Amino acid sequence: MKKNIFFLLTMVFATSNHICGQDLKLNDLEYFETQGVNVLVYNNIFSGGFNDEKNAGIEIIHHGVRTSQGGAVRLSNTPEQWDLVPDVTSRKVNRATKSIETILRYKDYDFDSRVVVTAKGKGVEISIYLDKPLPKALEGSAGFNLEFLPSQYWAKAYTMDGRYNRFPRYVVGNTTTRPNNEKTKQYKGYKTYDDRGTDKFIDPLPLETGRTFLLAPDEPSRLIKITSPDADLMLFDGRVLAQNGWFVVRSLLPAGKTGKVLSWMVEPNAINGWTREPNIGFSQVGYIPSQQKVSVIELDKKDKPFAKASLYKVGNDGNATEVFNGKTTPWGNYFKYNYVKFDFTSVKDSGIYYIQYGNIKTNNFLIENNVYDKITDATSDIWIPIHMNHMFVNEGYRVWHGEPFKEGYRQAPPNTDHFDLHSQGPTTDTKYKALELIPGLNVGGFFDAGDFDIETGSNISVVNNFVETWEYFKPMRDQTFVDQKQRYVDLHRPDGTPDVLQFIEHGTLNLVAQAETIGHMAQTLSNSVLDNYHHLGDAASLTDGLPYNPKLGSYEKASDGLSSGVKDDLWAFTSRDPHLDLNAATMFAAASRALKGYNDNLSARALVQSKRLLKESTELLANQPQDSISKYGRSSNAATNLQLYISTNENQYLDKFQELLWPDLDRNVNFGLLTALDALPHMDASYKEKLRPYVVKFKEYMDKLEKDNPYGVPIGLGNWAGGAALLNFGTTVCFASKNFPDIINPSHAFKTSNYLFGCHPYHNYSLVATVGATRPKAVFYGNNRADFSFIPGNVAPGILFRKPDHFENFDDWPFLWGQNEGTIGGNTSYLIFGSAFKSLLK
């Protein structure tokens, strides 16, 4: 008892000691701010595509880290990704009352709520207003939720009305079930429950209930106090239902009431005098002696920059010696922070080094001629073969996955909306009936990303990336055993064939099968039910490997063991898109060249499909508006005609390429320049001179980037970090500097590598798993994300921008795909960049 009383007194003292700092102010960017605390109110709204992406609503950025989000009226205790989210119908900022008012609407229930957030002292009051009473269907289910990031709170203490406990490291808690009926169907329309004999929803029960809730009184940087005079606060662990769930604090809205029906007081602690620790950006991979070496140091705007920084060299005796110190050069403000640069280019001696800025020492890095030699090895040796679909993949004592989807793919029914933003139109656009097995599709192809579907558009770009890598750089690296007959892959086991050539074959096998069997390209080969789509684990266990037999009962297996009553077969979404067919024609033309002499049969089949799809898609596009754009790109087919010209040497394709290329470049030189550069080895001198002004225009774009941000590279500001644009930029620089060295300085390519390997906002970790041996990112959104791990060679999308001024990349929480999900398209783009970059160094 004495120990308990002492603990409570300690918590009370800590709370009173640390809730300090200045009052929250409503700033010009329309969020509440004091030093160390930002409270955002619908600066970011819920997605209309993937619904709850855990980055919207009322959000708290607490001492530099976004620790809380999702503040909104929600319809369940611990909402999952595909649960209904409210539409924001209006948002008003009232500076006189220091408040932000947002109206949220659930159109399915004709239900509106008004959320008013008002600055009060060192916190905010959150009030919920209703003009009409709750709909009967939502009584007992509609409530106000605020979610907290588990990785920032697990193992920390909390108190509820003075009762103390700790946030669990792994999910704990009790659950109950309820029937799946219309009253409780508060989700977008996809099945979100496990129907293996239950047909019920799982509901978590609260860990605690009370009126005063303290989060992390033992950690001042995460301490938050929440009180409610109107309703109980309930604490839930959202990870009970899904590994990407957060801790949820929730109060139910009362039935039969209008006006102000609920209020909370939320007080995030601001540590007095706090400033964010400088983020010293540098390449974790290291530097070659001759390159420019510039560290970009990211500073809190209230942090006075030091005039100098130092470079220390670690000797063979383990002692460090200062070998260089130099001035820090101001760059200026970029969104939330201030930036200075530290140039240590003059240091060229090989060795182990670290940077010291004030009292902060970075981890070590190398200066050596070989630091970039292996930057693509993990991606090509491990990540890519692990993502080979329809194969058993082994690595030493570990099986990454068995052979998936032996039962094949069925025709998606007409008018089917899919949870991964695909849809089947009013017809199948094929000769196959709804749910009929489409033969021959369960071969080749690559998992798209952190899931197990084959996104056709991505796989097309992947084969193109492999072909470009092969034709330009001829990588003879052989570290993977691939046997298509056995459907078996073994890592770190050479088989006498260059790996990239086998990857080209594997991707082409699936895409040719689509073209031949369906007659055009499928949008995707994906899951038919949501339970399968968010599957984490061995891909081979996602389905039972047996074709679905509608004559059997649920989970019944046929007496001959050749079919089952499990509706787990994957579907082919086959609505035709001529833009996608056009992209496939490009890829088939390129693949046919690479495969000639290795798999002549597949090479010939690819060329046949290239010519057919080019002809058919061109005819289909002629009947569409000239500015028609699909999700797969514009209607211009300059790249297709270039690849067909290279494959056939027929002038008709050359003429069409030149007809289309120059208007493409006039529209957007950054988009089309890489295609134009690809043509150079096959064109005459006049073509190169005609291209020169466009390279000059690209140089002007590069110069603008130097003024746009302190890193001098394109930085994406959307809901997906800008990794694709960054890699395209870096690859374009490599090829442009090779062909136009008088215009493009090759040193610009190092800006891309520096950004990838640690010189970027938020933190200085390498964005490539295991590359940058001292401090690469440790967790990624891969298919093993539930293990808080990574697949070697995975390339993260990058540093995600959150409106209006916050960058982030969590390395302790993998489940935010916009910043942590490596894709087959992105990783093979990295393979090209890395190959081009290493070639440039030679």
Please say whether the beta carbons of 321 and 313 come within 8 A. Answer: yes
pLDDT value of position 532:
81
pLDDT bin (cut points 50, 70, 90) of residue 769 is: very high
Q: Using one digit for the tens of pLDDT, what is the confidence trace for 482-521?
A: 999 999 999 999 999 999 999 999 999 999 999 999 999 9
Domains of the chain: 2-268 (2.70.98), 279-367 (2.60.40.10), 373-635 (1.50.10.10), 709-842 (no CATH)
Mark whether 821 is an active-site residue.
yes
pLDDT bin (cut points 50, 70, 90) of residue 554 is: confident
Mark whether 812 is an active-site residue.
yes
What DSSP string runs through 373-418?
A: TTTTHHIIIIIHHHTBTTSEEEETTEEEE----TT-EEEPPTTEE-
Q: Kindly state the tokens that stand for 213.
A: 């809730």
Q: Kindly state the tokens that stand for 504.
A: 């080209």
Closest CA to 719 of 611, 833, 818: 818
Please say whether the beta carbons of 24 and 122 come within 8 A. Answer: yes
Please say whether the beta carbons of 549 and 558 come within 8 A. Answer: yes
pLDDT bin (cut points 50, 70, 90) of residue 164 is: very high
Q: Kindly state the tokens that stand for 432.
A: 């196959």
Q: How many CA atoms lie within 13 A of 212 on its CB side?
A: 8
pLDDT bin (cut points 50, 70, 90) of residue 286 is: very high
Residue 191 has pLDDT above 60, yes or no: no
Q: Kindly state the tokens that stand for 247.
A: 């801790």
Tell me which residue has tokens 């239900």: 111
- C-alpha to C-alpha distance for 546 and 91, rounded to whole angstroms: 51
pLDDT value of position 6:
43
Q: 41: part of which helix (H) or strand (E)?
A: strand 37-41
- C-alpha to C-alpha distance for 381 and 499, rounded to whole angstroms: 8
Q: How far is CA 716 from the centre of its chain?
A: 12
Residue 193 has pLDDT above 80, yes or no: no
- C-alpha to C-alpha distance for 31 and 138, rounded to whole angstroms: 31
Q: Using one digit for the tens of pLDDT, what is the confidence trace for 50-61?
A: 888 999 999 999
pLDDT value of position 47:
82
Q: What angle do CA 396, 397, 398 make, to 5 degrees?
A: 90
- C-alpha to C-alpha distance for 158 and 222, rounded to whole angstroms: 11
Please say whether the beta carbons of 465 and 832 come within 8 A. Answer: yes
Q: Across residues 605-613, what is the average pLDDT? A: 96
CA dist list (Å): 62 to 67, 68, 183, 839: 6, 8, 38, 44
Q: How many CA atoms lie within 13 A of 309 on its CB side?
A: 24
Closest CA to 813 of 166, 54, 84, 284: 54
Q: Kindly state the tokens that stand for 566.
A: 């499990």
- C-alpha to C-alpha distance for 420 and 449, rounded to whole angstroms: 12
Tell me which residue has tokens 């530097």: 287
Residue 466 has pLDDT above 90, yes or no: yes
Please say whether the beta carbons of 469 and 500 come within 8 A. Answer: yes
- Of 83, 101, 581, 821, the active-site residue reads 821
SS3 state of residue 129: strand
Please say whether the beta carbons of 167 and 154 come within 8 A. Answer: yes
Closest CA to 696 of 664, 726, 725, 665: 665
Residue 187 has pLDDT above 50, yes or no: no
SS3 state of residue 604: helix
- C-alpha to C-alpha distance for 477 and 498, rounded to whole angstroms: 5
Strand 480-483 and strand 488-491: pairing?
Answer: antiparallel
Lowest mean pLDDT among 10-24, 415-429, 677-691: 10-24
Mean model confidence pLDDT for the chain: 92
The residues near 783 (Cβ < 8 Å, ≥ 6 apart) are 447, 450, 451, 452, 536, 537, 539, 791
Q: Using one digit for the tens of pLDDT, what is the confidence trace for 557-602?
A: 999 999 999 989 999 999 999 999 999 999 999 999 999 999 999 9
What DSSP string runs through 626-661?
A: TT-EETTEES--HHHHHHHHHHH--HHHHHHHHHHH
Alpha carbon dihedral 614, 615, 618, 620, in 10-degree steps, equals -120
| Region of residue 801 (left: phi > 0; alpha: psi -120 to 50; beta: else) | beta
Backbone angles phi, psi at 743, to 5 degrees: -110, -50
Closest CA to 691 of 746, 743, 651: 743
- Of 483, 619, 700, 812, the active-site residue reads 812
SS3 state of residue 26: strand
pLDDT value of position 627:
59
Q: Using one digit for the tens of pLDDT, what is the confidence trace for 312-355?
A: 999 999 999 999 999 999 999 999 999 999 999 999 999 999 99
CA dist list (Å): 48 to 225, 367, 748: 32, 47, 38
CA dist list (Å): 184 to 139, 189, 200: 11, 12, 10
pLDDT value of position 201:
75
The shares of helix, strand and coil residues in the chain, as percent rounded to the nearest 5, are 30, 25, 45
pLDDT value of position 115:
98
